[in-house]
Structure 1
Amino acid sequence: MADFDRVGLPGRLPGPRDAARSDRAGFADESVTTERLVAAGADDIERAAEAALRPRSLEDFVGQRVVRDQLSLVLHAALGRGTPPDHVLLSGPPGLGKTTLAMIIANELGTSLRVTSGPAIQHAGDLAAVLSSLEEGEVLFIDEIHRLARPAEELLYVAMEDFRVDVVVGKGAGASAIPLSLPPFTVVGATTRAGLLPAPLRDRFGFTGHLDFYAADELERVVTRSAHLLGAPLDADAARELASRSRGTPRIANRLLRRVRDWAQVRGDGSMDLRAARAALEVYEVDALGLDRLDRAVLTSLCTRFNGGPVGLSTLAVTVGEETETVETVAEPYLVREGLMGRTPRGRVATPAAWAHLGLEPPAPAGTLFDAD
């Protein structure tokens, strides 16, 4: 069976089960207490802290103004008609708030959220079991929807469009399909690679929103709000420092905030000021541009061992002791976006900005036969 969970969210029509489930969604209250984290267990402390920092409504959601306004229009129109909204597809890099927006959608609609993921659904029967147990108006969130198995994908086409599934009974020539009607529901799909979604599936979503990286001032608001929820006020200069090193991603900003809180608690005087922020980020090897150990290892290897490139991705990955996919999906996108690395048909190359950031002198351009003496 597929790995799924039902998360109840307090909405306009709360019920007894919603109150019991709200802790699992991380929306029970506006603060993270020590007792609550300890009760969650050592293995779940980080997850509970991150969940509790999630905003509960579109008004509290920082950034993504265009997507927020468009989504608000879709949801309020559906509430006015008393019908479930169109299916929603959210795309964008990881850590920008796709899962949070799915929770907010369910919260705004006053219903519960059913959570699953594409890799967890390997067979059509897995998806049929999830769909057949949905209640009217529920929100089904499918993370990494581009990784759905093909049979499950084809079953989802019919379910999204006609609200029915065909249950196959028997095998071979004696098999027959029994149509099973489904109550109206809303699918919220999240993907980091929208290009891998087949056109028939993508066209069945009534609203598609793409999430972009956050500006520094938006991340300042994110970490300031999170620090307030954690009960550890953050200095304005420290918030600005964290925002500048968070790679435009709220998830990274909140993670760095928790590490600064750790440093202030263990090695500082408990206050999260600029000195504590810089000291903590130095301990965790996050530099002024937000580059971590892997990013700097890739750049350093490219500049010092290969004279700035070009060099093949697999060779570069072997040099830094990582898998090719790790370098390509974790380090490379940010390095390219910041103008520190270039991708050419011959391989990866270091830009002048990479040499300057590492404090190295770029090599002199090679001479030609036509250079004057």
Structure 2
Amino acid sequence: MARQSHDDPAGAESLVAAEAAVDEQEIEAALRPKRLGEFVGQQRVREQLSLVLDAAKLRNRPPDHLLLSGPPGLGKTTLAMIVAAELGMPLRVTSGPAIQHAGDLAALLSSLSEGEVLFLDEIHRMARPAEEMLYIAMEDFRVDVVVGKGAGATAIPLEIPPFTLVGATTRAGLLPGPLRDRFGFTAHMDFYSPAELEQVLRRSAGLLDVPLDRDGGAEIAGRSRGTPRIANRLLRRVRDYAQVRADGVVTADVAAAALTLYDVDEAGLDRLDRAVLDALVRRFGGGPVGLSTLAVAVGEETETVEEVAEPFLVRAGLLARTPRGRVATTAAWSHLGLVPPPGNGALGSGSSAAQPVLFDNSP
């Protein structure tokens, strides 16, 4: 969920939100690569997907249904569009929340042409009756349309042309097993390395006609949370700063000054992230502290802290969830320029992958 402060019309607080804001979707579309060879990052997924598509084209048949999972902003929608482009087929786009009745899905599927690619975003949020209809459509290319009600209801089978479903989800664990099993190819999107984000930035800078030097790209990439969407958003804001307050060239110094102005620090933390860490360390001695108490301390809703701030802080190795509550790691104290007092229980720092993350349901 993108955040924007009422006191900040520029929306600085939403710069590191991984979800796309409504007003930036058109810009995103212009920056998206159109072919698999132009897509940066996700090397293993690209190689696997290339093999699936090439084999389907050799057989002159639609490829197996594809499931793309992973955090927002990593390129799932872009890959769905690339699949249609590589196959030379039209693309139909919809989302799980838009399909609340089986009839909605039946009308959509019956209007598809042969070989068409159907992109279903947020597939885990589709209504259960429509989900059960989708099972048959994916496997047998048929939907059963129920006519009438009660004892007189009749199911009329309706054949649909072969198609390829590309499903995207940020929460693969919410997909029921029978639905996951009907996808012939499943890919998980990983966060990008700084080097990969620099490639994304160089490509976007060329499309936007932004002079970007190597150090400037590295500065932006290091603050982008491993997410191309965030990197492109930061690039546009740094471009504005460079044009208004510098000579138009995005250097490391210009990028650092611009992102400092927009409250994005060198680790990619924004105002809310730092507020959570500051409260945890300075007010509660590093924890453990309950989630609701922490939310009150930063003046935010519990859901905002848990769903917006915590995921990145945990992944960055700055915060840990334990059975007793939230605990700041040694890296969190260091990030704030502080030294944890002896015996305060701070968890040792290290790579985020090595951090033990224990989820709790306690307040």
How would you bin the TM-score normalised by the shorter chain?
0.7 to 0.9
Pick aligned residue for 1:287 from 224, 244, 265:
265
Q: Number of matched residues?
A: 325
Match of 1:89 in 2: 67
2:190 counterpart of 1:212:
yes
Q: CA deviation at 1:47?
A: 2.2
> Rg larger in 1 or in 2?
1
Match of 1:132 in 2: 110
Conserved 8 A contact 2:286-2:344: no
Q: CA deviation at 1:366?
A: 6.3
Match of 1:163 in 2: 141
Conserved 8 A contact 1:341-1:350: yes
Output the CA distance in 1 between the equivalents of 2:23 and 2:317: 36
Pick aligned residue for 2:81 from 103, 107, 129:
103
2:281 counterpart of 1:307:
no
Q: CA deviation at 1:201?
A: 0.2
2:305 counterpart of 1:327:
yes
TM-score normalised by length of structure 1 = 0.85
Structure 1 residues 210 and 44: alpha-carbon distance in aligned structure 2, compared to 1, 3 A threshold: closer
Conserved 8 A contact 2:215-2:251: yes
Output the CA distance in 2 between the equivalents of 1:128 and 1:279: 53
Output the CA distance in 2 between the equivalents of 1:92 and 1:48: 22
2:43 counterpart of 1:65:
yes
Output the CA distance in 1 between the equivalents of 2:76 and 2:211: 27
Output the CA distance in 1 between the equivalents of 2:244 and 2:289: 43
Deviations 1:286-328 (A, max 9, x none): 1111111111011011111111111111221222222222222
Structure 1 residues 147 and 366: alpha-carbon distance in aligned structure 2, compared to 1, 3 A threshold: closer
Pick aligned residue for 2:202 from 218, 224, 238:
224
Matches within 5 A, 1:170-181: 170-181=148-159
TM-score normalised by length of structure 2 = 0.87
Output the CA distance in 2 between the equivalents of 1:315 and 1:107: 50
Output the CA distance in 2 between the equivalents of 1:100 and 1:124: 27
Structure 1 residues 169 and 188: alpha-carbon distance in aligned structure 2, compared to 1, 3 A threshold: same
Pick aligned residue for 1:187 from 165, 185, 189:
165
Structure 1 residues 44 and 151: alpha-carbon distance in aligned structure 2, compared to 1, 3 A threshold: closer
Question: Matched residue of 1:107: which SS?
Answer: helix
Q: Which amino acid aligns with 1:130?
A: L
Conserved 8 A contact 1:224-1:233: no
Deviations 1:80-105 (A, max 9, x none): 11100000000011110000000000
Matches within 5 A, 1:1-373: 46-365=24-343
In structure 2, list runs of 5 or more residues that go unmatched: 1-20, 346-363
Output the CA distance in 1 between the equivalents of 2:23 and 2:150: 50
Output the CA distance in 1 between the equivalents of 2:178 and 2:288: 39
Output the CA distance in 1 between the equivalents of 2:105 and 2:75: 25
Q: Which amino acid aligns with 2:79?
A: L
Output the CA distance in 2 between the equivalents of 1:229 and 1:264: 17
Q: Which amino acid aligns with 1:277?
A: A
In structure 1, list runs of 5 or more residues that go unmatched: 1-42, 368-373
Conserved 8 A contact 1:89-1:188: yes
RMSD: 1.4
Question: Matched residue of 1:115: which SS?
Answer: strand
Conserved 8 A contact 1:58-1:68: yes
Structure 1 residues 44 and 143: alpha-carbon distance in aligned structure 2, compared to 1, 3 A threshold: closer
Determine what percentage of the aligned residue pairs are the same residue.
75
Conserved 8 A contact 1:342-1:350: yes
Deviations 1:55-76 (A, max 9, x none): 1111100010000000000001
